[in-house]
Structure 1
Amino acid sequence: MAAFDRLNDGSNDAPRLRVQQTFWGMIKLPMNAETEWTLDEKFARCKDAGLEGVECWLSDDNEKEVTEALKRYGLRLALGHRPFKLEDTQKLIERAVRVGADYVMAQPADAYTSVDVVAKLVTEGRKVANDAGLCYFVETHRNNFTETIPQTLALIERVPEIRITADLSHFVVVGEFYGWEAERAHERMLPILERVSHIHGRISNGEQVQVDCGDGSTPWARFFVKLWALAMQNWKVGAGPGDILPFSSELGPPRYAITTPGGQEISDRWEQGLLMTRLAKEAWESA
């Protein structure tokens, strides 16, 4: 199993950070425009920004169009899914192998599913993925079993070898963290941060799951840089040649994005997404 704890490109290169974008996060861009960017415009902008891949949830309807566009721009692919049963993961792995995805991530079940069921689901799902030569990461996310720190810790106790896609914005908004020392957020999350192999770039201020961070100097931005750096520091322990830590900017469209009553977004998600990658690189350097 250890060979699948981190994404690896098979090279002898030093362990590195890979910045990328989520497909979902490019819905309704550019900001408040009458016409949305085409698929080619979206991927061309990713390429021009130095992003290396796009994370997608594909269907039979868009698989061919999206994967062909990614190839045109030399962008890598990762796939996500929300499994309730092993068959969900088996179908995803078939698709992942077919389209040449680098790794897969899972948002497992929901908060009303027992830890026994979820532990079995992610253990068997990881085996299916690993048998196909793919890493399998479990995402921390609201409306999944992993929506809270205590539930995620309970899952780790059952499946200590689990590897995490850290979308820490969910923990922060559910736990109503403000980044204060007395909250012990870093300490409470540490067993999770020790298992991170993939990070989603979204920042919460403890009240909203996704907020504008200005130039990155806001208190909530600095809080997340510290969290990401701690996860990266733990990832670097034991990392070897060819290992890659993917960081995916994931700023969602409305209703994730805050809007006026008329539905106009108040923050430029594309520019803020690029800020996420800059903050990720800063965290990497400080890790």
Structure 2
Amino acid sequence: MEIKFFCPRWGCENVSWDEFCRNVKEAGYDGVEYGIPAESTKEELDEAWSNFEKYGLLAIPQHYSTYDADFDLHLKNYGAWLDMIAPYKALKIDAQTGKDYFSFEQNKKLVERAAEHTRATGVEVYHETHRNKFTFAAHITADYLRRIPELRITLDASHWVNVAESFLQDQQEAMAIAIERAEHIHARVGYQEGPQVPDPAAPEWDEALQHHIAWWDKIIARKRAAGDTLATITPEFGPYPYMVHLPYSQKPISDQWANNVYMMNLLRKRYNG
């Protein structure tokens, strides 16, 4: 099974697409996960995809920017975002879908809207486990997964660790169904009081790292056993405020780019030998 790694555009928005994609390619990534604002223009999207093509990079568009509290408007804008990116070549889509305060039926309508996009384009949409979305907690997401058999997710367990203030040792059943239905991995490491450890290479954060690796190992093992030909991973350590800054100086406490490259190299060695 081939494992491909994607670099987040998040945190590098001030870097030109050409420079960013050149850096991504030189670092050894296979593609880019691109968080696309709802207000993006065709010119901006064209520029991004022309650089993906120039540097031979795959693309995973990421949805995050539908915030409307009014459900009807939320559904309309969610669909508009999917329509906006439909003309662009994508390996898959990562979507931060819905809201934690929407009802099950409301969030289900959003999942169904994403399924319509897949039927129209052939591009699968995977719903990211994320705070303030319908997937904000392990036990809540497990209920959705049981009630919607076709639902597939991007597993970002860092959010769940933070929400539950634990490494989810007491939620084994919820983690098991999440692992079974995960089709994309966000390789960020969370801890009990936050969604991102300061530095995944630091020994004091090894316990948190090992918990996450154990979940990722199970996803990779499941996909290999099923005969899947591809697995995708995005190391997703982010900039401020995910990365805490030092007081007064506002200097980051570690290097976001280096953290993500470290995770990529660690997991590539682990899974590809």
TM-score (norm 2): 0.86
Q: Please tell me whether residue 41 in structure 1 is matched to residue 28 in structure 2.
A: no
Match of 2:56 in 1: 74
CA distance in 2, matches of 1:154, 1:25: 33
Match of 1:228 in 2: 216
Q: Please tell me whether residue 263 in structure 1 is matched to residue 250 in structure 2.
A: yes
**Structure 1 residues 200 and 245: CA distance shift in structure 2, 3 A:** same
Q: How far is the alpha carbon of 1:42 from its aligned partner?
A: 1.9
**Structure 1 residues 219 and 157: CA distance shift in structure 2, 3 A:** same
- Which one has more relative contact order, counting CA pairs under 8 Å at least 6 apart? 1
Query: In the TM superposition, what are the counterparts of 1:1-287 in structure 2 within 5 Å?
Result: 15-27=1-13, 37-58=15-36, 59-60=40-41, 62-82=44-64, 85-178=74-167, 183-211=169-197, 212-214=199-201, 218-240=206-228, 243-261=229-247, 262-284=249-271
For the residue of structure 1 that corresponds to 2:46, the secondary structure is helix
**Which stretch shifts more, 47-56 or 184-193?**
184-193
For the residue of structure 1 that corresponds to 2:86, the secondary structure is helix
Q: Is the 8 A contact 1:78 1:103 kept in 2?
A: yes
**Which stretch shifts more, 277-286 or 158-167?**
277-286
Q: How far is the alpha carbon of 1:282 from its aligned partner?
A: 4.7
Q: Structure 1 regions of 5+ residues with no counterpart?
A: 1-14, 28-35
**Which stretch shifts more, 136-145 or 61-70?**
61-70
**Structure 1 residues 68 and 285: CA distance shift in structure 2, 3 A:** closer
Q: How far is the alpha carbon of 1:236 from its aligned partner?
A: 2.6
CA distance in 2, matches of 1:155, 1:113: 13
Q: Is the 8 A contact 1:205 1:220 kept in 2?
A: yes
**Structure 1 residues 281 and 177: CA distance shift in structure 2, 3 A:** farther
**Aligned Cα RMSD in Å?**
2.3
Match of 1:9 in 2: none
Work out the percentage of aligned pairs sharing the same amino acid.
27
Q: Is the 8 A contact 1:225 1:282 kept in 2?
A: no
Q: Is the 8 A contact 1:196 1:235 kept in 2?
A: no
**Structure 1 residues 137 and 239: CA distance shift in structure 2, 3 A:** farther
Q: How far is the alpha carbon of 1:128 from its aligned partner?
A: 2.3
For the residue of structure 2 that corresponds to 1:19, the secondary structure is strand
Q: Structure 2 regions of 5+ residues with no counterpart?
A: none
